[in-house]
Chain A
Amino acid sequence: MSSQSSHNKNDGGEFNMRLKGEIDIYTAAEFKKQLNAAIDEDLGDLHLDCSELQYMDSTGLGVLIGALKRMKEQDRNIYISNLRPNVRKLFSITGLDKIFILEV
């Protein structure tokens, strides 16, 4: 799993992160570290582009839920875009598509 972050200064200080590869029990800790760093670094909303995220399981969802709790405490939000069908299904069967903001 890897991620690329970019800071979009033109749009209210939002933080964009592009996720790549697979998030599972092996890579979830690294994902958590990168996500927490992104939350600490900026005060805006977090946008995750998942067009190159091939696989994620409940360990990745757990990291995202933890991150969303932190963000909500600061009145910020997480936007998730371009989910592949297999990863989108994970959100829908767990009902978490109603908790996160999923964009097309």
Chain B
Amino acid sequence: MSLVDSVQNAVVKNDCEDQVVLVLPNKPEYVSVARLAVSGIAGRMGFDVETVEDIKLALAEACTNAIKHGCCEEYSEYRIEFGIGQKCLTISITDKGCGMDKKAICQPDLKNPREGGLGIFIISTLMDRVEFETAPEAGLTITMKKYLGV
């Protein structure tokens, strides 16, 4: 490892000091486990009760999305990575699906409300920063960030 690499790694580690990884089966009954985990992590970091609820909901929407669209096989799993920094919680959810069309993210049409398609909109509304990354044959990764004290 070169000096530049080790310095860059140190910067990354400083930003996200601890990592917690959760791999869940694509079964709806385990989404509550993800909610419990993030409640514990966000609460410990010092987020207020309302923000913890927002993060919980955003993560649950991402998990629901992974189960509904990101697990093409009957028995599959998806991965949740929590990056716990001093001032920022980063959550990445990676599934094994076929990715998504970013154009699908739009404001709900109140004249003709649909029964689905609200999840990604809710995530984008509640979190400070959201990124979608699709790689061929690697599924979709949703990375969301919430900053402390913002």
Identify the A interface with B (CB < 8 A).
22, 24-26, 55, 57-59, 61-63, 65-66, 68, 85-86, 89-90, 93-96, 98-99
B126 proximity list for chain A (CB < 8 A): 93
B32 touches A93 (CB 8 A): no
- B51 nearest CB across to chain A (Å): 11
B60 touches A62 (CB 8 A): no
**Bound CA span A99–B115, Å:** 13
A24 touches B118 (CB 8 A): no
Known interface pairs A25-B67, A57-B57; A94-B28 also in contact (CB < 8 Å): no
B110 touches A24 (CB 8 A): no
* Number of B residues with CB within 8 Å of any CB on chain A: 29
B113 touches A96 (CB 8 A): yes
**Dominant secondary structure at the A interface:** helix
B114 proximity list for chain A (CB < 8 A): 62, 65
Q: Is B50 located at the chain interface by the 8 A CB criterion?
A: yes
B119 proximity list for chain A (CB < 8 A): 57-58
Known interface pairs A25-B28, A94-B108; A85-B50 also in contact (CB < 8 Å): yes
Identify the B interface with A (CB < 8 A).
28-29, 31-32, 35, 50, 53-54, 56-57, 60-61, 63-64, 67-68, 107-108, 110, 113-116, 118-119, 121-122, 125-126
A58 touches B113 (CB 8 A): no
A-B contact pairs, 6 of them (CB 8 A): A25-B64, A57-B60, A57-B61, A89-B53, A95-B108, A96-B113
> Of B50, B57, B68, B110, which one neighbours A99 at CB under 8 angstroms?
B110
A86 touches B108 (CB 8 A): no
B64 touches A94 (CB 8 A): no
B32 touches A22 (CB 8 A): yes
A98 touches B110 (CB 8 A): yes
**Bound CA span A25–B57, Å:** 12
A86 touches B50 (CB 8 A): yes
B28 proximity list for chain A (CB < 8 A): 24-26
> Of B50, B64, B110, which one neighbours A58 at CB under 8 angstroms?
B64
B31 touches A26 (CB 8 A): yes
B125 touches A58 (CB 8 A): no
**Bound CA span A15–B149, Å:** 44
B113 touches A25 (CB 8 A): no
B63 proximity list for chain A (CB < 8 A): 25
**Bound CA span A59–B67, Å:** 12
Given contacts A57-B119, A57-B122, 10 further A-B contacts (CB under 8 A): A22-B32, A24-B35, A24-B60, A55-B35, A55-B57, A58-B61, A86-B57, A89-B54, A93-B126, A99-B113
